[in-house]
Structure 1
Amino acid sequence: MAGSYHFRPMTPADLAQIRRWLALPHVQEWWGDPAEQYALVSGDLDEPAMDQFIVATDASDLGYIQCYDLTAWNSGFGDQPVGTRGIDLFIGAPDMIARGHGSALIRAFADDRLAQGAPRIVTDPDPANARAVRAYAKAGFQKAGRVDTPDGPALLMVRDA
């Protein structure tokens, strides 16, 4: 497993890779319809409350992470401290799955956002996505209960500064 991750701001030049990743079975399983998700991800490139990144190691790009201002969306996550950021991500590169990258890159990204002043980072994996729930827990997130989202039931997980 690589020890160092880079979070490069996503640009329109990355959209072809995003489209390919979204079409892969391991991403579709939890992100859903590739065309719908591509429209959402590409549509957020100009959204000021959404920061999007390509996750890379020194060797290659391996995934996508989005980080948003929770107050800009009606998330259904209840009252959260001002400045709380929500995150969603996937590892796109199939050869990088189940190698410890998930928890390591989540921890690195959350550490950075908390160091920049975010009071809390939240995420909402599908409760049935045991791999994601484990990765977030290994990255220091705590289970905060089930929530209802537009995509269905989710497990709210939080990490405080």
Structure 2
Amino acid sequence: MSIYRFRRPNIEDLDLLNGWLQKPHMSEWWDVESVYTADKLDQPHVVIRVVEARGFPFALMQDYDVHAQEGHHFAHLPPGSRGLDQFIGEPAMLGLSHGPAFIAQRMAELFADGAPVLAVDPHPDNTRAIAAYRKVGFGVTGDPLMTEWGMILPMEAAR
């Protein structure tokens, strides 16, 4: 049994999520100017989860329908495929291999639920994220690409 639990955030979590966005380590790779609101927590094509380790909330992970937005860079993937985004908000939890561990656990859940392919899109210079994704089975599937969310390196993992 894993130590990670993925739970849906609620209104009481907004301060926690937005506080994480203000942490100094977040600004390098995440859009820290975006703010989590009640509306963002309840999007029809995005499943947001607070990641807890032994009851301690420390990260956010979301998966989304890659076909929900016209022209998305992963729209070529088969129906049921999901895109993933995540971050560790608590600085004390960085560098302890939690990222690959909770990503792998969530991947297993999504594959068990029928997702044929999972995709991630780290910035091409984010070598730590790329290494973590490779560790859990993602492979680079194309050249770096400029998208409306910035530069990405497309990576995919199949069931």
Q: Return the TM-score normalized by structure 1.
A: 0.91
Distance 2:117 2:145 in 1: 17
Equivalent residue, structure 2, for 1:149:
147
1:65 paired to 2:61? yes
Distance 2:75 2:5 in 1: 31
**Correspondence for 2:117 among 115, 120, 132:** 120
C-alpha offsets along residues 80-126 of structure 1, whole Å, 9 cap, x if unaligned? 10011001010001000011011111111111101110011101000
CA displacement at 1:59 relative to structure 2: 4.2
* Matched residue SS, 1:107: helix
Distance 1:91 1:115 in 2: 24
Equivalent residue, structure 2, for 1:24:
23
Q: Return the TM-score normalized by structure 2.
A: 0.92
Q: How many residues align?
A: 157
Identity, % of aligned positions:
36
1:97 paired to 2:88? no
CA displacement at 1:76 relative to structure 2: 1.9
Q: Unpaired segments of 5 or more residues in structure 1?
A: none
**Correspondence for 1:44 among 40, 55, 67:** 40
Preserved CA contact (<8 Å) 1:147 1:153:
yes
Preserved CA contact (<8 Å) 2:60 2:89:
yes
Preserved CA contact (<8 Å) 1:122 1:156:
yes
Residue 16 of structure 2 aligns to which amino acid in structure 1? Answer: Q
Equivalent residue, structure 1, for 2:132:
135
Distance 1:47 1:78, change over 3 A: closer
Preserved CA contact (<8 Å) 1:7 1:53:
yes
CA displacement at 1:46 relative to structure 2: 2.0
C-alpha offsets along residues 39-69 of structure 1, whole Å, 9 cap, x if unaligned? 5x65422211110000001141110011111
Distance 2:17 2:34 in 1: 10
* Matched residue SS, 2:28: helix
Distance 2:12 2:141 in 1: 37
CA displacement at 1:10 relative to structure 2: 1.3
Distance 2:26 2:39 in 1: 19
1:110 paired to 2:110? no
* Matched residue SS, 1:121: strand
